[in-house]
């Protein structure tokens, strides 16, 4: 039993030395992975404990496969409590995942209208497009969601910003869709203005 304990202690010591010798970036990545896993599992105690560590920067950690951060994870599941908490702890509301989607774009896509207001109040940019230049407003128009379109316009969404796929704006899509005349009318109440598009990332 004593020998086993010695072996275990040696193994622990070696593991500690190896971890300490890893580059800081690798250690941060490991901590970031644990943080995102805790967020996925809704392990509040672990999330708070990791964010309370002095000098931590993991609140904006990204998944190496999908590029998503903690905000993307909680928005997909419609979790307003986690969303508010993470924003308060400095999470970037404009972080893009591997597809270029921001948390705001995902909130629109998944129909979490209440989260849209939380994000815009938390300084999410309503004019950030994804890899195809699709903005939250364009996506809301395509979903024919009038309340959401109204909320995004109130938050400063530009109805004349075009995507990179069809070269169409939210105003264009609304006019082309005869099934949602109320949305086209609402957007047409906004004067047309030339605003430089916030381009999506090159993926």
pLDDT for 21-71, tens place per residue? 444 444 456 899 999 999 999 999 999 999 999 888 899 999 999 999 999
How many whole angstroms separate alpha carbon 116 and alpha carbon 104? 6
pTM value > 0.85? no
CATH assignment of 132-203, among 1.25.40.20, 2.120.10.70, 3.40.1190.10, 2.30.38.10: 1.25.40.20
Return d(Cα 113, Cα 105) in angstroms, integer. Answer: 11
Q: Tell me, what's the pLDDT at 85?
A: 98
* Residues of the chain scoring pLDDT < 50: 1-4, 14, 17-27, 202-203
Q: E strands along 15-116, which residues?
A: none
Burial call 186-203: b when 16+ CB within 10 Å, e when fewer? bbeeeeeeeeebeebeee
pLDDT of residue 6: 58
pLDDT of amino acid 192? 76
- pLDDT value at position 202? 46
pLDDT at 190: 84
Q: What's residue 163's pLDDT?
A: 97
């Amino acid at each position: 039993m004593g020998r086993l304990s010695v072996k275990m202690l040696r193994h622990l010591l070696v593991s500690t030395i190896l971890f300490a010798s890893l580059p800081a970036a690798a250690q941060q990545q490991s901590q970031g992975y644990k943080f995102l896993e805790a967020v996925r599992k809704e392990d509040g105690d672990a999330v708070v404990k990791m964010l309370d560590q002095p000098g931590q920067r993991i609140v904006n950690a990204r998944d190496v496969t999908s590029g998503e951060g903690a905000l993307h994870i909680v928005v997909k599941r419609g979790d307003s409590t986690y969303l508010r908490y993470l924003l308060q702890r400095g999470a970037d509301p404009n972080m893009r995942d591997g597809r270029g989607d921001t948390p705001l774009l995902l909130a629109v896509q998944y129909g979490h209208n209440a989260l849209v207001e939380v994000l815009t109040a938390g300084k999410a940019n309503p004019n950030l497009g994804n890899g195809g230049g699709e903005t939250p407003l364009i996506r809301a128009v395509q979903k024919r969601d009038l309340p959401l379109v109204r909320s995004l316009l109130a938050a400063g969404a530009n109805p004349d910003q075009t995507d990179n796929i069809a070269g169409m704006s939210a105003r264009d899509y609304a006019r082309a869709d005869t099934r949602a005349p109320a949305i086209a009318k609402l957007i047409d109440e906004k004067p047309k203005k030339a605003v430089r598009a916030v381009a999506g990332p090159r993926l």
